[in-house]
């Protein structure tokens, strides 16, 4: 079979990126179908989407599905609807809640990609006889290696850092060589209603909502004190789980001087540490320990110099990696970095090539552990 006639199924989310991914594949001659993933059920997950008292208010997930149906109809491709609610709950959401319960700041989008979009979805596609899956991510691949997307402002390789070689090899990223304005232009040229639809934000498949109120459905709030590092009480917090290192908004601390920032946590004592000014010394570190390592690059021993991102859209940081044991890496960054946060991902790069991803466990300034 000619490569261009291979069967590909696109994860059609109802957004502009996945819609244009379909268009690019159709123009390239692939045999294209689409699948819409349903991964969150408000009726069983103790959460309300939309306004239950307004019969005209449709939950965002159903609106996305209707947009996906409209795209599939206009492009003349078959659309399947699949349900991964149970898998999402067991393999993504439980981890998300558990990490917040520990006072950490998880990144569920990374786990969602690994366990749902590129595992459950891929397995379903293979069972249905497709040769590849395709997603509307701003990333690229070269065989079984992952690369950054060309649009550096939209590059999503950070969120794909836990994919395996096998998952990458079976995935096509049709818009990885494009920039967002070009994607919207193509959607408009094809008369798609979603050409100007805003990008989705919020937690993967859960979306936008009052985050504190959402978490209260699953984790009891435990108010406590806000203190400076010298022990002065300056306010109270609603629960350590609601705050992340470097956070400025939502602290409700008045008074003169610079803005206040979260600079540390003591989960055991339920104390949130804060300081004034965004250049607080305690926000900076030059070393961290990472686990949950998904290494995609060539094996190495000793030290390896590369670059890293400790959060999405952060400017690359020069780092030096060395193995502590088979499950942990020490990451040194002599130029220091701000608000490196336990629970978040550290993703490693060699130019545009993704070397691997990991989870930040402990953060240090030299030999002093940060109270994160």
The two structure tokens encoding residue 91: 């393999």
At the topology level, CATH places domain 221-276 in: SH3 type barrels. (2.30.30)
Strands (E), the chain: 7-11, 31-38, 79-83, 132-134, 139-142, 145-148, 171-172, 224-227, 233-237, 260-266, 271-276, 284-295, 303-309, 317-325, 328-338, 345-350, 353-365, 368-369
pLDDT reported for residue 4? 56
Query: What does the pLDDT read at residue 3?
Result: 58
Distance CA 120, CA 35 (A): 12
| C-alpha distance from residue 59 to each of 38, 208, 234 (Å) | 12, 11, 40
- Per-domain residue ranges for the chain? 3-196, 221-276, 281-369
* C-beta of residue 356 within 8 angstroms of C-beta of residue 347: yes
pLDDT value at position 52?
38
Q: How far apart are CA 286 and CA 333, in angstroms?
A: 5
Catalytic residue among 22, 120, 161, 204: 204
| Catalytic status, residue 306 | no
Give the span between the Cα atoms of 363 and 175, in whole angstroms: 36
How confident is the prediction along the chain (372 residues), in pLDDT tens digits per residue? 455 589 999 999 999 999 999 999 999 999 999 999 998 775 555 554 444 333 444 466 788 999 999 999 999 999 999 999 999 999 998 998 999 888 888 888 999 999 999 999 999 999 999 999 999 999 999 999 999 999 999 999 999 999 999 999 999 999 999 999 999 999 999 999 999 998 875 555 555 556 677 777 888 889 999 999 999 999 999 999 889 999 998 899 988 889 999 999 999 999 999 999 988 899 999 999 999 999 999 999 999 999 999 999 999 999 999 999 999 999 999 999 999 999 999 999 999 999 999 999 999 999 999 988
> Cβ contacts of residue 264 below 8 Å, gap of 6+?
229, 245, 272, 273, 282, 370, 371, 372
What is the pLDDT at residue 236? 95
Distance CA 322, CA 299 (A): 11
Tokens of 307: 């670059």
List the beta bridge partners of residue 331. Answer: 288, 321
Q: DSSP string covering 245-264, please?
A: TT--TT----SSSSPEEEEE
Q: What are phi and psi of 76, to 5 degrees?
A: 70, 35
Given the residues 112, 120, 161, 306, the one annotated as active site: 112
Q: What is the DSSP letter of 370?
A: P
pLDDT of residue 194: 94
Q: Does domain 3-196 have CATH number 3.40.50.1220?
A: no
The residues near 338 (Cβ < 8 Å, ≥ 6 apart) are 246, 283, 284
The encoded tokens of residue 43 equal: 């009726």
CATH topology of domain 281-369: Elongation Factor Tu (Ef-tu); domain 3 (2.40.30)
Q: Quick check: is 204 catalytic?
A: yes
Predicted confidence at residue 213, as pLDDT, reads 78
DSSP SS3 for 329: strand
């Amino acid at each position: 079979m000619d490569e261009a006639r291979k069967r590909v199924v696109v994860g059609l989310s109802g957004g502009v990126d996945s819609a244009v991914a379909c268009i690019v594949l159709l123009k390239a001659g692939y045999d294209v179908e689409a699948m819409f993933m349903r991964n969150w059920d408000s009726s069983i997950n103790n959460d309300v989407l939309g306004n239950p008292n307004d019969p005209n208010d449709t939950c965002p997930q159903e609106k996305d599905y209707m947009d996906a149906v409209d795209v599939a109809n206009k492009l003349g491709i078959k659309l399947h609807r699949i349900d991964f609610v149970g898998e999402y709950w067991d393999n993504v959401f439980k981890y998300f809640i558990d990490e917040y319960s520990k006072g950490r700041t998880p990144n569920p989008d990374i786990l969602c990609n690994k366990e749902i979009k590129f595992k459950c979805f891929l397995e379903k596609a293979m069972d249905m006889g497709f040769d590849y899956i395709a997603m509307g991510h701003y990333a690229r691949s070269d065989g079984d290696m992952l690369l950054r997307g060309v649009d550096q402002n939209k590059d999503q390789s950070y969120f794909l850092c836990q994919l395996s070689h096998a998952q990458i090899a079976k995935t096509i990223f049709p818009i990885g060589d494009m920039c967002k304005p070009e994607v919207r232009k193509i959607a408009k040229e094809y008369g798609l209603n979603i050409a100007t639809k805003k990008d989705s934000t919020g937690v993967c498949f859960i979306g936008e909502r009052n985050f504190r109120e959402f978490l209260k459905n699953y984790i009891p709030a435990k108010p406590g004190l806000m203190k400076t590092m010298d022990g002065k009480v300056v306010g109270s917090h609603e629960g350590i789980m609601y705050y992340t290192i470097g956070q400025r908004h939502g602290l409700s601390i008045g008074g003169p001087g610079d803005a206040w920032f979260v600079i540390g946590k003591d989960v055991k004592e339920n104390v949130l540490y804060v300081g004034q000014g965004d250049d607080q010394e305690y926000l900076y570190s030059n070393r961290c320990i990472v686990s949950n390592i998904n290494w995609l690059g060539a094996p190495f021993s000793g030290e390896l110099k590369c670059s890293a991102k400790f959060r999405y859209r952060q400017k690359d940081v020069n780092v030096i990696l060395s193995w502590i044991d088979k499950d942990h890496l020490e990451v040194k960054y002599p130029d220091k970095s701000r608000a490196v946060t336990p629970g978040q991902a550290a993703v490693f790069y060699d130019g545009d090539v993704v070397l691997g991803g990991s989870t930040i466990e402990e953060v240090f300034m030299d030999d002093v552990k940060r109270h994160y």
